């Protein structure tokens, strides 16, 4: 049963990739929010107030990753890299003063599939089994559960009154090129209400089988808010997940440690390291275009940036051209002429998908 702990770092990273890279909202709802205009500006321009801003959160434990968090949101104590099963996982939780928030935990749980050997040793379904001798968190003996059923079980076990609004499969989150040992995958999404808040929770499960042993892992990603803030929350969480980056130095070191624990030959280290770091940052052009159109349609938000510094701002959409003065005020115009010809104005570019 030693296999059950080998290489779980790579498998946990696959789960992280599924959510933080591939998750896309499924709904386009219209929300119209206008910018404030408190300053006198030329007739050919509009002053745009920055709509959203973010701060950078770095993993405090091993500097394994960074992610942008909406300004005003607080990251919970304990967030960062976790190692419940020796190899790496991620726990992220952030909340706002307005009861908005998100949670991502991978692995949420690692389970061992019942078999005759476990039954003979007394580890029947529902009991915990620890092949590590106390080094890692014991695994629950549990049959592999599809994501849809797993989410229903999760909500039913909450000690609050809930109302399930929708449960759907998410085949778009399934890894189309899994490692050879992965024999089953499933992903689903549930939307429900509880305690006056609306929740959306996504689960991705996969099963690894080897020499009669089955280990499966569940990863959860979700967000919540009051109903009237749900579109905004969804947009902010989307922006955060797009900013998730793995430290390549950490990835290389982790790959080496995984190799030591798993006994993988050294020639494979470079390819493992590359796959860990590059897959985290992978996005398809079609996904970028969907994200761009979704943010404009849903919240009327435009992402503009300084092409020289890369500094990015989020403002209301509506102008064809955007400019920033030396006080960081942003102006929108319908022409490519500076709204203040005598001042040093920086033209901003609108983020476009390739």
Q: How far apart are CA 198 and CA 228, in angstroms?
A: 9
101 half-sphere exposure, CB direction, 13 A CA radius = 14
Comparing 15-19, 38-42, 131-135, 144-148, which segment has the lowest mean pLDDT? 15-19
What pLDDT band is residue 294 in, cutting at 50, 70 and 90? very low
Q: What is the pLDDT of residues 142-181, one digit of tens each?
A: 999 999 999 999 999 999 999 999 999 999 888 777 777 8
User: Quick one: pLDDT at residue 22?
Assistant: 54
- With respect to residue 66, please indicate whether it lies within any of the assigned structural domains: yes
Does the pLDDT value for residue 284 go beyond 50? Answer: no
Predicted pLDDT of residue 266 = 32
Residue 312 counted as domain residue: no
Out of 28-42, 43-57, 74-88, 169-183, which region has the weakest mean confidence (pLDDT)? 28-42
Whether 342 is in a domain gets the answer: no
pLDDT reported for residue 180:
75
Higher pLDDT, 69 or 213: 69
Question: Which pTM was predicted?
Answer: 0.68
Predicted pLDDT of residue 190? 96
Q: Within a domain: residue 226?
A: yes
pLDDT of residue 196: 94
Please check the confidence at residue 203 and state whether its pLDDT lies above 90: yes
In a domain, 157, yes or no: yes
Structural domain that includes position 91: 2-29+55-284
Q: Reply yes or no on whether the pLDDT at 225 is more than 90.
A: yes
Three-class SS state of 134: coil
pLDDT of 274 strictly over 60 = no
Q: How many angstroms separate the CA atoms of 238 and 104, rounded? A: 13
* Separation between Cα atoms, residue 46 and residue 322, nearest integer Å: 9
**pLDDT value at 63 more than 50:** yes
Residue 161: inside a domain: yes
Q: Mean pLDDT throughout 213-238? A: 91
Residue 326 has pLDDT above 60, yes or no: yes
| Strand, helix or coil for residue 183 | strand
Q: How confident is the model over 186-199, as pLDDT tens digits?
A: 999 999 999 999 99
HSE (side-chain half, CA atoms, 13 Å) at 159 = 0
State percent of the chain over pLDDT 90.
34
Rounded to the nearest angstrom, the gap between the alpha carbon of residue 257 and the centroid of all alpha carbons in its chain is 25
HSE (CB half, 13 Å, CA atoms) of 190? 20
Contacts of 255 (CB under 8 A, 6+ apart): 269, 272, 273, 276
State the helix-helix crossing angle for 230-242 and 285-299, rounded to 10 degrees: 150
* pLDDT at site 254: 81
Q: What is the pLDDT of residues 91-139, one digit of tens each?
A: 999 999 999 999 999 888 889 999 888 888 899 999 998 877 666 788 8
The pLDDT assigned to 178 comes to 73
182 beta partners:
208
Helix or strand (DSSP H, E) at 244 = none
**pLDDT score, position 169:** 94
Max mean pLDDT range (3-7, 15-19, 35-39, 76-80): 76-80
pLDDT of residue 146: 96
Q: Tell me the percentage of the chain whose pLDDT exceeds 70.
A: 74
Does some domain include residue 344? no
Q: How confident is the model at residue 60 (pLDDT cuts 50, 70, 90)?
A: very high
Q: Compute the distance between CA of residue 119 and CA of residue 97 in angstroms, rounded to an integer.
A: 49
Q: Please state the domain count of the chain.
A: 1
Q: Is 17 left (phi over 0), alpha (psi -120 to 50) or beta?
A: alpha
Give 197's Cβ-side CA count (13 Å radius). Answer: 15
Highest mean pLDDT pick, 20-34, 148-162, 253-267, 317-331: 148-162
The more confident residue out of 59 and 23 is 59
Does some domain include residue 318? Answer: no
Residue 84 — φ and ψ, nearest 5°? -70, -25
**Which regions of the chain does DSSP assign to beta strands (E)?**
45-48, 54-58, 65-70, 74-75, 80-85, 87-95, 101-112, 128-129, 139-141, 162-169, 182-194, 197-210, 213-225, 245-246, 301-305, 312-316, 321-324, 330-333, 346-350
């Amino acid at each position: 049963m030693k296999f059950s702990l080998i290489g779980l770092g790579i498998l946990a990273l696959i789960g992280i990739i599924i959510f933080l890279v591939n998750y896309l909202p499924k709904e386009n709802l219209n929300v119209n929010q206008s910018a404030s205009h408190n300053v006198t500006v030329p007739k050919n321009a509009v002053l745009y107030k920055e709509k959203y801003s973010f701060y950078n959160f770095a993993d405090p434990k091993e500097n394994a990753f960074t992610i942008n968090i909406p300004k005003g949101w607080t990251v919970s104590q304990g967030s960062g890299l976790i190692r419940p099963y020796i190899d790496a996982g991620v726990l992220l939780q952030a909340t706002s003063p307005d009861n908005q928030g998100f949670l991502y935990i991978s692995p949420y749980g690692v389970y061992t599939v019942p078999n005759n050997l476990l039954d003979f040793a007394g580890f029947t379904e529902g009991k915990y089994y620890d092949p590590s001798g106390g080094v890692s968190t014991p695994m629950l003996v549990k049959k592999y559960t599809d994501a849809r059923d797993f989410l229903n079980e999760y909500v039913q076990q909450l000690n609050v009154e809930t109302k399930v609004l929708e449960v759907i499969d998410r085949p778009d989150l399934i890894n189309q090129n899994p490692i050879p040992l992965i024999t089953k995958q499933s992903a689903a999404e549930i939307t429900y209400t509880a305690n006056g808040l609306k929740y959306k929770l996504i689960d991705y499960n996969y099963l690894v089988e080897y020499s009669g042993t089955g280990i499966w892992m569940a990863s959860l990603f979700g967000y919540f808010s009051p109903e009237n803030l749900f579109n905004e929350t969804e947009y902010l969480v989307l922006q955060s997940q797009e900013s998730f980056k793995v430290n390549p130095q950490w990835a290389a070191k982790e790959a080496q440690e995984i190799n030591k624990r798993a006994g993988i030959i050294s020639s494979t280290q470079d390819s493992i390291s590359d796959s860990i770091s590059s897959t985290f940052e992978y996005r398809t052009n079609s996904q970028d275009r969907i994200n761009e159109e979704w943010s404009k349609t849903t919240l009327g938000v435009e992402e503009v940036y300084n092409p020289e510094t890369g500094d990015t701002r989020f403002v209301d959409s509506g102008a064809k051209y955007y400019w920033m003065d030396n006080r960081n005020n942003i102006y929108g115009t319908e022409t490519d002429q500076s709204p203040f010809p005598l001042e040093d104005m920086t033209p901003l570019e609108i983020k476009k998908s390739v």
